Every structure is written in structure tokens, then in C-alpha cells.
Structure 1
Amino acid sequence: MERSKEFLSKKLISFFNSINIQIFILFGLILSTLISFDYYYKNSNLTIPFVITTLVSSIITLLGIPKLKKIKIKQIIREEGPKNHFLKKGTPTMGGIFFVPIGVIISNLIYFNKEDYKVILTLSFVIISFLLIGFIDDFLSLKKQLNTGLKFNQKINLQTFISLIFIIICASNNLLPNSIQIANEIFYIGNIIYPLGIFVLLAESNSTNLTDGLDGLLSGCSVLIFTGLAITILIENPNNNLTLAPLCIVMAGACMGFLFLNNYPAKIFMGDSGSLAIGAALGGIALLSDNLWSLLIMGGILAAESISVIIQVSIFKISKRLKGKGHKLFLMTPLHHHFELKGNNEIVIVGSFWLVTLLLVIINLIFFINT
């Protein structure tokens, strides 16, 4: 039994070690899916924006790496993290400043001068604003030479402030739905959409921030979730050119281009500037397109990462208060660190999380089509 487990483990490590092959398989899978949908839905036109954004994002990120090295923008590793992460020390970070603006710029070019262009401008505002919050956090972290930049309450306050402005802009332009769809049921929620919208942006951006802890983990999952959102929106509005599907697929392309350089061993990290912006983009798009339920399903890995931290902190505080000694459910959180400390190979963890995300995207699409 032990030998069979060891054999299976070696096989998994061998398979996932071919991570570059996996990335090209991922790229090929998404490309073939988009070509199929473009053929079936004549008005979709998703393939070309995805390919162009992937190419531009990859090139800009590649050119940016030497610049970051020159000005010594390098990752700070937290002392309490897994010890093997100290090998990553010195890797250029803040890569979000390269690939996120690419997605925003290309999406604005696609929608420019078209009806409801204000939707894209509003989403661009929240994405870039969260990028700037992440940039400040990354900058302060480098300045202090610590893994923490902004204090927790400072970061949350800034995120809440930007989210509030976003919701006010959306409300004043009638961009927010007054109902949410869960499965095949539609629930009218009225003004509850305002606090819900703020919560979604905070929850999603912090979930993506927590998920960004292993090479290629968040960027790979984000490619799949953005693509899943694009297809979901396209199925909802097959005859409408002015959906948010192109924005989703452009963001997927931006993450895909970055992933080619962020895969293990990463040549660059996205930093908070990338992870917070990705979360804001996912949350904002899902909110305005009324696809919060789909995002919850497809972003199951993001939710699990965030929930693992909440559970760990809660159990530790409660047990310390009751028994005088804090206890932990996980070896370390977020969840990917627990699997690391269990002895799993980083590449295997990342590949497995991608696979789970792919399955969740497929489940959502099957569920969505059948309702």
C-alpha cells in the first residue's frame, strides 16, 4: 500500500513538473474553447482579443522583469512561512503593474465609443484603484523590508472607500441589478445590493490576495475563472455584442500572458498590485452582470483559501480563551500552505488547484445551461 502511494506521488510530481507543458495545454484548451464559441455564437469575437492580450501581456511583463531587478523591487519572504519559500527571496515582484493595465487598456479600446462604455470606465476605475492600493502595500513592504506593508485596517479602509465610490457611481448610472440569481431562482433584494456589492469587492479581492502564495496559483486559477465568466455571460446574451464577455476574456488573456513568466520557478510575482486588482475585476464584473452565484461556484478555490484563514483564526482564538492555549486545525493557512507542510510538492498543489478550478468552471456551465 505504501509503495503504491509512493509510486502515485512520484507519478504526480513527474506529471506536474512538466508545468510548461501544462500551461500550453491550458492555453490550448481555452483557445480551442473560444474558437468553438466564436463559431457557434457569431457575435462573440473572443478569440482574437484573448490571443492579442496574452501576447502583449507576456511581452510587456518579460520586458519589465529587468527593470524591476535594476531598481531592486524584490520579494520579501515572511519569516513564519514555509522554509522552502526562502529560495524565492529576491524574485522581482509587483508584476501586477504590467499585466493588469494591459487588460484595462485593451478592454477600453474594444468598448470605446460604444453604447454603455461607461460600464467599462466604471470597472476600469475600480480595477486600477485596487491595483494602486496593492502598489502602496507592495511599496511599503519593500521600504520596511518586511512582508507586510499597509496595516490590515488601513488596507480594508482603503478598499471599503474605493468600493463605496464604485457602488455610488454604479447606482447613479443604474448599473446595479436589483436582484440576484441563485441557481434558477431570482431573488429581489432592492437596496441590499449596495452593502452586498461592497462585501463582494472586499471578499473577492482579499480572497485572491490570500490565494497568491505559490508560483502560478492565482494567475492560473484566474485565467480559468475569467474565461468561465466570459462564457457564462455569452450564453446569457448570445445576440448582444455589448456584454461584459470581451472584458472577461481580455482579463483572462492578461493573466495568461503573465502566467508564462509566473509559473514555477517564477521569474516574477504579481504582488498585491496584481492580486487585489484581479479580485476587484472578478467581483465587479460578476456584480454588474448578475453572476455572483457563478463566481461563487467557479471561485471555489478562492473561497476555500479565505475560509481556511477565518476558521484557523477563529479556532485559535476560541480555544485560547477557553483552554488558555490556542489550537490549530490546519498546519498553516491559507490552505495551500497546509498542503505544502504536509509534504506535497508545490507544483502538484498548483496543478491540482487548477484542475479543481477547471472542474468547478465546467460544473457551473453545465448547471447554468440546464437551468
Structure 2
Amino acid sequence: MDAKLFYRSTFKLSGALLFGALTVGLSLVAFYLDWLAGRSPIQIQSLVLPLWVCALTTAVLGFWAVPTLQALKAGQAIREDGPQSHLRKAGTPTMGGIFFIPVALVVAIAWSGFSPAVLAVSGLTLAYAAIGWLDDWQIIRRKSNKGISPRLKLALQIAFGGFFCLWAMLTQPVSITNLALPFGAVLPLGILFLPIAWFSLVAESNATNLTDGLDGLAAGTSAIALLGLGALVAPTAPDLMVFCAALSGSCLGFLVHNRNPARVFMGDTGSLALGGALAAVAVLTNSLLALLVLSGLFLIETLSVMAQVGYYKATKGPDGIGKRLFKMSPYHNHLELSGWSETRIVAVFYILAGLLTLLTLAIF
């Protein structure tokens, strides 16, 4: 067999095996958690049924959506200063969030009986998806990796996040301002709830966006985090449990087309929405600290960017050039430039995401 052909077939098989392991793992965990809670896996208010319905629906829908995006020439522009291995991905359709996010929202809204909490969280998710879509559209239109200005993107995130927090403060019980601590402890935040919740929405959205840099990375880690968050909030907010399970399932279905080698990218349309969804559920369920642990990988990715920028500025010489702490940020790019394969990085991140989820469920 030709060496190049052998490499490609192995490469594809690795991506497929990674996806298969994730799917089986999340399904077994969902079955176990439903059984542990005394829920039937085939009832609407469970983890298993929304997970699988959305996974299958998104996977099937993708066989129409991906060729449509290709026909619309919605190809991704690749950063020239990024890893050279990414240049071969130029032209891969992006904006995949437009077909996997709506599937989860429709299922969650319908199956929750149009729950106000699910409607609000879905609205915030859709708003952040719209910001991402605007950014993706500008990238496609300009055929450049630069979309809308960072200031405009941030301003829109802050604005929609503010509306959501205001709705929560005006409509939800006073107990929403409490922060759940490990082992059942509670910390009343009082007036501090508003800035903390507001910051969390914007920060989590951007952190998830930064993690979306390798085939299957953001979709897989988000699927793990969402299922974990759904299990965490199930006792007090079964409607939001359904929302989390549905969105986790949509991420799994999206991975049918996004696993390595990806046929489509989620773009900011998907990544901004996923982060917003995670934070919005956490805001309504006193789970912001739990989310910080649960989505620790997203935090690490964000901190790596901040450290890189800070170190570069601090070490600037007379020539205006500074030193780099990492070969490239976010951290997954540093690992890739250090010789790690994409699938190896994604596998390690999946394992770490799973361990963080187990830790969160154990202590909160």
C-alpha cells in the first residue's frame, strides 16, 4: 500500500475510533445516571432520550447541510501564521452551528413544555449563535480569517448577556443569587450576582470559542461538559437537564461530520452558542462555580492566550518584539507545534474533560 494512502486511512480511522469511544462512553454514562436517579432512559425527562434523538437528527441533517454549505462556498479561511498542517483545511465549510444548534433548541423547548427557563436559555444561545454567524459570514464574504471587529463582537455579547441577567434577576426566585459550593455549602452573592453572572456568560462563550481549533475538539469537550451539567442540575431543574442533554446530543451528531478529518467546522456560530448555553444554565441553577471546574479545559485554553499575550508584552525589547511563552496559543496549538497529532490532542482533552466532569459531580 502507498505510504501516503496508508497514513490517510489510519488518520481517518483514528478520528472515527475517537468519535466511537466518545459516543459509547457518553451513552453509557447517561444510561447509568438515569438508572441511578430512577428515570427511564426512554422518557422525555431523561438524559438518554434527548441525547440520542438530537444526535441522530443532527447526524442525518448534516448529510444535507454540509453539501449545502459547500455549494454556498462557505469555506473557512485559515490563518497563515498558524500551524502549517492547517493550511490543507482551507475551504472546508464552516458555520456548521446553523444546523446542529437549532436541532437541540427545538427538541428542548418542545420536550420541556415551553418552560420559561428553557426558552430564556435557548434565546441566549440563539443570540450568541447569531453573533457568531455574523462573524462567520464576514469571514466568508471577505475570504479572510478576520470577521467582525473584536470590539463589536464583545459589545454584542455583553449586551445580550446583560438582557439575560436582567431577565433572571426580575423573574427568578431570590435564591438564584446563591452560589453552590462543594459538598452542599452555599454562598449568598447578593448584589455581586449580577456582575459575576454577566461576566461568566461572556467569558464562557469566548473560552469555548478559543477551544474550537482542532477537528472535533470543541464539539466533543462541549458534549462532555453539557452532559455533566445536565446531570448536575437534574434534581432541581429537570427542564434544563433536557436542554443540556439535547445540546450534548447535537454536538455528538455534529461530530459525525466534524471528527478528524472534518468535513465541516462549527465556526463561531456554534462555539459562541455552546459557551453561552453552558453559562446560561449555570446562572439559573446556582452552578457557576461548578461550571468553572466542569469546563476547566476551556479555562486553561483562555489562560494560555492571556499568558502568551502578557508575556509577549512584558518582554518587549527596544525593537518592539517580545518573547513567546508558548510556541502558539491557545495551548492546543502549542501541543500541535510540539509534534502532537490532532487526534492525540483531542483524545487527551476528551479524557481530561471527562475527569473534570466526574470531579464536579463528586463534589457538587
Q: Is the TM value for this pair above 0.5?
A: yes
**Count of residues paired in the alignment:** 348
Which blocks of at least 5 consecutive residues in structure 1 are unaligned? 1-13
Question: 1 CA distance for matches of 2:327 and 2:282?
Answer: 33
Question: 1 CA distance for matches of 2:33 and 2:304?
Answer: 36
- Output aligned runs, 1:129-168, within 5 Å: 129-168=127-166
Question: 1 CA distance for matches of 2:12 and 2:96?
Answer: 24
- Output aligned runs, 1:82-101, within 5 Å: 82-101=83-102
Aligned residues of 1:232 and 1:365 also touching (Cα < 8 A): yes
Q: Which residue of 2 aligns with 1:320?
A: 316
Aligned residues of 1:178 and 1:189 also touching (Cα < 8 A): yes
Does the C-alpha gap of structure 1 residues 17 and 351 become closer, same or farther in structure 2, counting only changes over 3 Å?
A: farther
Q: Deviations over 1:200-219 (max 9, x none)?
A: 01100000110000000000
Question: 2 CA distance for matches of 1:355 and 1:315?
Answer: 29
Equivalent residue letter for 1:345: S
Runs of 4+ in 1 over 3 A off after TM superposition: 14-17, 240-243, 321-325
Equivalent residue letter for 1:67: T
Q: Which residue of 2 aligns with 1:268?
A: 264
State whether structure 2 residue 170 is matched by structure 1 residue 172: yes
User: What SS is found at the alignment partner of 1:320?
Assistant: coil
Does the C-alpha gap of structure 1 residues 336 and 16 become closer, same or farther in structure 2, counting only changes over 3 Å?
A: farther
State whether structure 2 residue 29 is matched by structure 1 residue 33: yes
Residue 321 of structure 1, CA deviation? 6.6
Residue 289 of structure 1, CA deviation? 1.1
Which deviates more from structure 2 when the two are superposed, residues 270-279 or residues 19-28? 19-28
- Output aligned runs, 1:43-54, within 5 Å: 43=39, 45-54=46-55
Q: Which residue of 1 aligns with 2:118?
A: 120
Residue 324 of structure 1, CA deviation? 4.8
Q: Deviations over 1:137-196 (max 9, x none)?
A: 000111111101011111000100111111111111125711212223321111111111
Aligned residues of 2:75 and 2:91 also touching (Cα < 8 A): yes
User: What SS is found at the alignment partner of 1:150?
Assistant: coil
Aligned residues of 2:14 and 2:343 also touching (Cα < 8 A): no
Does the C-alpha gap of structure 1 residues 67 and 318 become closer, same or farther in structure 2, counting only changes over 3 Å?
A: same
Q: Which residue of 2 aligns with 1:232?
A: 232
Question: 1 CA distance for matches of 2:156 and 2:173?
Answer: 23
Question: 2 CA distance for matches of 1:322 and 1:360?
Answer: 43
State whether structure 2 residue 213 is matched by structure 1 residue 213: yes
Which blocks of at least 5 consecutive residues in structure 2 are unaligned? 1-9, 40-44
Which deviates more from structure 2 when the two are superposed, residues 271-280 or residues 59-68? 59-68
Does the C-alpha gap of structure 1 residues 175 and 27 become closer, same or farther in structure 2, counting only changes over 3 Å?
A: farther
The alignment's TM-score, normalised by the length of structure 2, stands at 0.92
Aligned residues of 1:119 and 1:175 also touching (Cα < 8 A): no
Question: 2 CA distance for matches of 1:55 and 1:290?
Answer: 31
User: What SS is found at the alignment partner of 2:316?
Assistant: helix
Question: 2 CA distance for matches of 1:151 and 1:310?
Answer: 19
Q: Which residue of 1 aligns with 2:7?
A: none
Residue 230 of structure 1, CA deviation? 1.2
Equivalent residue letter for 1:223: A
Aligned-CA RMSD value? 1.8
